[in-house]
Each structure stands twice: as C-alpha cells, then as structure tokens.
A and B are shown apart, each in its own frame.
Chain A
Amino acid sequence: MEILVCVKRVPDPAENEISIGPDGGDIERDDLVYSVNEWDNYAVEEAVRIAERTGGNVTIVSVDDDEGEEVVRRQMAMGASQGLLLTDEAFEGSDGLGTATILAAAAKNGTYDLILTGAQADDGAAQVGGMLAALLDWPYASVVNLVETNSDGPLRIGREIDGGSQEINEIETPCVLSIQTGINEPRYVGVRGIRKVASIELPVMDAEALGISAETVGTAGAKVRRVDYFVPEQRAAAEMIEGSTEEIADRIVDLLRAQGGIR
C-alpha cells in the first residue's frame, strides 16, 4: 500500500509554556522547541506498520518553510522511504483549506492508496484531513484508533467516538484517515536514526511545481484569519485556601463535610 502521511511541525506543548508575545499577534516563539505534532507521530507509526504488513512505501509530507526539513526527516527515520517538503512564500498564512489545497495537489502528484493525518494539531481545528478527503473526493474517517488491512477488500477501521466507545467502519480505499493518539506506541527515533536518513534526498516543491495558483492559498486565499492571541480573563476564579498542610486539610474536611462529600 502506498501511504502518504501529512505532518506538521508545532511547538512541543510538553516542553514549552506557551505565552503571548508583546503585541499579541503571535505567541512568544523565541524559546520554543518544535517537534512533530503528537497526533502525526502516531499517524506515521501506523503508516509504517501498515506498510510493513502490506508492502509498499510511506511518504512523509509537510507544508512548511526550510525549518520543516528536520521534522520530515525525523518522521522518515521511523521507516518512511520518502519525504516531501512543500515550501513557498505563497503558502504562508494558509488557513485550513489552504493547507488542504496544497496537500491535495501533492497527493494528486503521486499515486497513493491511503493518506493519514493526525486527528488534530496545535490549533485544535481537526480540519485538514476532512478537507483533503473532500478535495480529492475520497472517503474520510476521523479520530481513527484502529486500522486493519484486508487483501483487496476495504479497510476495517475503528473511530474513537465521544464517551470512549469505538465505532467500527469499513472504508474503501483510497481514503483519508485522521489518526487518534493511543492507536499504537510510536517507535523512538534517536540521533542515529536521523543521521541514517540525513543523506536521502528530500524533494522540495513550490506552488508552481504543484500547479497551485498563489492566490488560492496562503494569506491571499485564507478566509479564516487569526487576529491576535489573548489570555481570557479568569472568570469566577476559585476561592483559594492557604495555610499549613494541617490548616488546609482541616478546611477541606469542613468544606467536604458541608457539601456532603464525606459519607
């Protein structure tokens, strides 16, 4: 199975405290450490496992500037044979549809049976996979936590739906799946793994190579625009208990008792 996995480079939330820059236009990025979006990491692992079972290749693609190369290579080191970096000044400021449009052009450039994305990324929109499927006119399933391949037949997939139940579907290929965390245990990529793929050529494609007209993507094409970041005012913050451990414990016991929390 030929699989394309779309990945995004994001500030690693585990390693960073996100704070807002002085003008509110962006978050403070100077001290941020970037890594692959966590969901995408699961998607790459799943793709590699599927390719290990069924044969075929995994290609990692990302819409990013030059900085994206590191993330694409790291994901390639998990077992993907190819990478693709989609870079153009015109891509900057793309909204979800812009990103999906760029990725769709790249997908049409190859012959893929399956496209995986992460279920969501740092902006929490969870949109690119579904848009990509619609642009390609392929079936789509979101928050996928199980992928079973059958020879020739449709894929049997599980979706993690609200309440923690699993919705089992059959889906025809080619299709787009957005992958939920926990579907697998992604393998570790160390310094050595990255060095191993360092010499593989990483093709870079711009708008022209992809056949995209610049005004449909990037800031020019974006219909959704973030104006600024802000920290919402704390509403009705909690009454804070202070004091020694003893005093705090006493107060908690009183409160719990008053509220019927101790039975």
Chain B
Amino acid sequence: MDARVFVYVAHSAGTIDDTALELATAAQRLFPGSSPTAIVAGSGVDAVAREAARSFDEVWKLDTEALAYPNAELLRPLLVKLLTPGSMTLLPHNTFGLDLGPGLAVRLGATYVPDVVDADGLEGTTLKVVRQEFAGQVSAHVHCNVANGAVITIRPGAFPAAQSGSASGQVVDRSTDADGIAARRRFVELIEAETGDVDITREEVLVSVGRGIGDEENLALVEELSEAMGAAVCCSRPIIDAKWLENSRQVGTSGKTVKPKVYLALGISGSFQHLGGVKGNPFLLAVNKNPKAPIFQSADVGVVADLMDLLPVLTEKIRQGH
C-alpha cells in the first residue's frame, strides 16, 4: 500500500475526540502497516496537535483564526489543496464528517466510502468494507475501487479506540496554507441543547425508554419504576420526536452521551444511533417484546416481555425490597 493515509482529528475543548483514536484503529484495519498522518485543524490547537502526536507519527497542524469553528465548507478546499493525490482520508461518520466528506471525495477525484463499520482488507486497489443498510437491519459487503484514492467515513464506535500512545510524533505546521481561505457558508452561532432539570450525563443508573412503550400514558409506569430504583429516566429519539419527554432526556448520537453504571433499556430496539450515546460499558439490561430486537446483541441480560405486564410487577417488587 503506497497511498498516503490521512486521519482527521476532531477535537473539542482542547482534547481530541474519541473518534480520532477510533480512526487510528480503522486506518490499521483498512490499510495495515500504514502510518497515517493526523490533521488537526482549528484555532489555538497546539495542545491538541501535541496530544495527537502521541498517537500519530506525523501531525499536520492547521492553526488559524478562520478555523476556530470547524466549518466543512472552509476546510474542504484547504484539504483539496493539501492532500496528496490518490491518498486515503479517514473521517468520522458524524455530522461533521458527512458535511465534509462527500464533497471532498468529489473534489479530490477520490472514491467516497461512507459509514464503514468493519474492514475486510485491501486487495490491490479494491478496498473491501462492511456497511449497514435499512437502518441496520442488514449488513452488506462492499467493494470499492480506490485506485484514485478514497475518502472514507468511519462509524463512531464501530472500531475500538487505539491506545493513546506515548510516541512523540512530529507536528508539522501547515497553517500558512490556510491563509486567505473563504467559504460561501459562514458559521454564526451554536445553540446548545438544553440540559433540562435532570442531567442524564451525570446519572449512574438510567432507565431508558423507547418506542416499545407504545403510549405516552405508559410513561407513568416507567417513571414509577425509575423512582423506585432511584434512577433517572432517559429515552431514545422516537420518544423525543413524539414530544413525550424533553430533548434533554435523549440518549444517542443526536442526543446526549451518557456513562452510567446500569442501563435499563425498555422497549428500545437498539439502533446504533441510540447505543452510540451509551458509553462506559454499563451493565445493560434490555426488555423488549420483539425477541429479534438488535438491543439483545448489545445487552448483558435480555428479557422478552410486554412492558405493560412486567413494569408494574417489577416496580412493586423493588418497592417491597426497601
């Protein structure tokens, strides 16, 4: 494999994102033996670049005021200018990566390989990956011709994060290349998601409820159980879309990331978007009516049951135990 491999290092609040280390793993799985170059873009990112240098042999630093907020429209022409033709570029498949990636691939004349969840290796110029379709109901083996390079987005959580090494990579300052960049899309402001009355990101025991609860009224059963357990209630996206709970209770990639010790998933099917928000490897107990629900693949303990039957009994037993 001769092509150069680049990894985009996302960061926030001065630390590199989990996804950057996951991309490092993915780079090794996709292109074994490669030595990826990390790209750290932003404003005042010395520390981040140094941190990245512990995991990557080479780090390109793009440090300029204009990139204070990672605007894909600004970054894309810059990367087109910097990246070696025919190189392999790895991005996280999140709302930043899918903002940047497709256009970048077109601009580089590279093949776009989106949302990779697993790697089957590289044969000549054919990159073999695994993707998911139909909301994760089926997987697909996908072969990509990467002769002219590729832009690859990696699903967050699909690859384990590489151990943050202690190697000291070289930080190369490419900031001058960013001089005079401009875009027809300008970042204005960030409207933070509300925190709400309960900060689920700080709770150790969470009772999480999904579409399987059926009716808004049934939430009362969940709340009673949660109260008996001394836990907090959170939920998956359909509950938010139905406006049954406030946004601040949503766990998932489009909601909060939680790190509880115990996670009781009630009527949650277990999409990756939801489980992407559950970190810290909690004890996961799932209750679902559908024995085929994907959640049972991720759970430690599963129960196939009707919530309406189980919850009142469970709540009562917990109350009695006190």
Q: Is B254 an interface residue (CB 8 A)?
A: yes
CA distance A247 to B98 in the complex (A): 47
Establish whether residues B185 and A131, one from each chain, have CB atoms under 8 Å apart when the complex forms: no
Are A18 and B138 neighbours in the complex by a CB distance under 8 Å? Answer: yes
Assembled-state Cα–Cα distance A168/B185 (Å): 10
Residue contact A168 to B190, C-beta cutoff 8 Å: yes
Contact (A234, B264) CB under 8 Å given A13-B137, A229-B133, A240-B304:
no
Whether B185 lies near A171 (C-beta < 8 A) is yes
With A225-B144, A252-B285: A27-B310 Cβ-Cβ less than 8 Å: no
Pair A168/B138 contact, Cβ less than 8 Å: no
Answer yes or no: B96 CB below 8 A from chain A CBs.
Answer: yes
Q: Is A226 on the interface with B (CB-CB < 8 A)?
A: yes
- Check if A142 sits within 8 Å of B98, measured CB to CB: yes
A246 at the B interface (CB under 8 A)? yes
Q: Would B111 and A165 count as touching, CB distance under 8 A?
A: no
Given A127-B114, A245-B313, A260-B261, are A240 and B296 neighbors across the interface (CB < 8 Å)?
yes
- Decide yes or no whether A203 CB sits under 8 A from chain B: no
Interface residue SS majority, chain B: mixed
Q: Which residues of B contact A259 (CB under 8 A)?
A: 261-262, 283
By beta carbon, the residue of chain B nearest A171 is B185
A232-B139, A240-B304, A241-B303 given; A261·B98 CB < 8 A? no
B231 located at the interface, meaning its Cβ lies under 8 Å from any Cβ of chain A in the complex? yes
Instruction: Mark B174-214 against chain A: 1 for CB-CB distance below 8 A, else 0.
Output: 00000000011111111111000000000011000000000
Q: Which residues of chain B from 243 to 275 have a CB within 8 Å of any chain A CB?
A: 247, 250, 253-257, 261-262, 264
Stretch of B26-34, B35-43, B58-66, B100-108 at the chain-chain interface: B100-108
* B113 contacts A164, C-beta separation under 8 Å: no
Given A18-B134, A260-B261, verify A163-B103 contact (CB < 8 Å): no
Give which listed residue, B100, B183, B314, B318, contacts A139 with CB less than 8 A.
B183
Q: Verify if B112 is at the interface (C-beta below 8 Å from A).
A: yes
CB closest chain-B residue, reference A159: B95
CB pair A229 B140 closer than 8 Å: yes
Q: How far is the CB of A43 from chain B (nearest CB, A)?
A: 16
Interface size counted on chain B using CB atoms at 8 A: 87
- Cβ of B173 within 8 Å of any chain A Cβ, yes or no, is no
A238 lies within 8 A of chain B by Cβ? yes
By a CB distance below 8 angstroms, the chain A residues around B139 are 229-232
The reply to whether A131 and B112 contact each other, CB–CB distance below 8 Å, is yes
Q: Is the CB of A253 within 8 A of B185?
A: no
The residues of A with any CB-CB pair to B shorter than 8 Å are 11, 13, 17-20, 27, 96-97, 100, 120, 122-131, 133-135, 138-143, 154, 156, 158-172, 175, 181-182, 223-232, 234-242, 245-246, 248-250, 252-253, 255-257, 259-263
28 A-B pairs (CB sep. < 8 Å): A18-B138, A96-B102, A97-B106, A127-B114, A140-B99, A141-B185, A156-B188, A159-B95, A168-B190, A168-B191, A171-B184, A172-B184, A175-B184, A224-B144, A229-B138, A229-B139, A237-B296, A237-B302, A242-B304, A248-B310, A249-B310, A249-B313, A249-B314, A253-B317, A256-B229, A261-B205, A261-B231, A262-B228
Q: A124-B135, A131-B106, A261-B285 are in contact. List 14 more A-B contacts (CB 8 A).
A: A18-B137, A18-B138, A97-B112, A124-B131, A126-B98, A138-B184, A168-B191, A224-B143, A225-B143, A230-B139, A239-B301, A250-B317, A260-B205, A262-B228
